[in-house]
């Protein structure tokens, strides 16, 4: 659990797209998280993978994401949903990336699916 606390200390926010957004089927995994607002990412492109979208780190016209303040428990739930293993991150369909829109800001985002990487 220490790795979760370290990740949250580095950046206590997550930006989500697809099924984790408000009103979609997996949003309940963010129960208790405070929505901070929305952002538009032009550094990722979404792909239809069937039951959920995947993202690739390539320029686009923009993907609208919701940004939430989260804690270690909420991050653990997201890891469970996405099948993320901190000791072997390349084995899952989810990869964490840190992004910064401003020098004083960061967003902790799960943007990439290894199956759509170059």
pLDDT at 69: 92
Share of the chain above pLDDT 90, in %: 26
C-alpha to C-alpha distance for 19 and 46, rounded to whole angstroms: 12
1 in Cβ contact with 71 (< 8 Å): no
pTM exceeds 0.95, yes or no: no
- Mean pLDDT confidence for 73-81: 90
pLDDT at 1: 59
Residues with catalytic function: 82
Question: Model confidence over 36-66: pLDDT tens digits?
Answer: 999 888 888 988 888 888 888 889 998 899 9
Q: What is the mean pLDDT of the chain?
A: 78
For residue 31, count other CB atoms closer than 10 A to its CB.
8
Q: Which helix (H) or strand (E) holds 73?
A: helix 72-82
């Amino acid at each position: 659990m220490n790795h979760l606390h370290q990740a949250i200390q580095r950046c206590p926010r997550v930006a989500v797209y697809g099924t984790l957004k408000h009103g979609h089927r997996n949003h309940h995994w963010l129960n208790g998280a405070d929505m901070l607002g929305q952002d538009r990412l032009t550094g990722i492109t979404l792909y239809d993978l069937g039951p959920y979208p995947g993202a690739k780190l390539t320029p686009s016209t923009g993907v609208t994401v919701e940004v939430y303040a989260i804690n270690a428990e909420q991050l653990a739930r997201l890891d469970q949903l996405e099948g993320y293993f901190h000791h072997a991150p390349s084995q899952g369909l989810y990869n964490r990336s840190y992004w910064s829109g401003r020098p004083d800001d960061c967003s902790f985002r799960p943007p990439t699916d290894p199956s759509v990487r170059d």
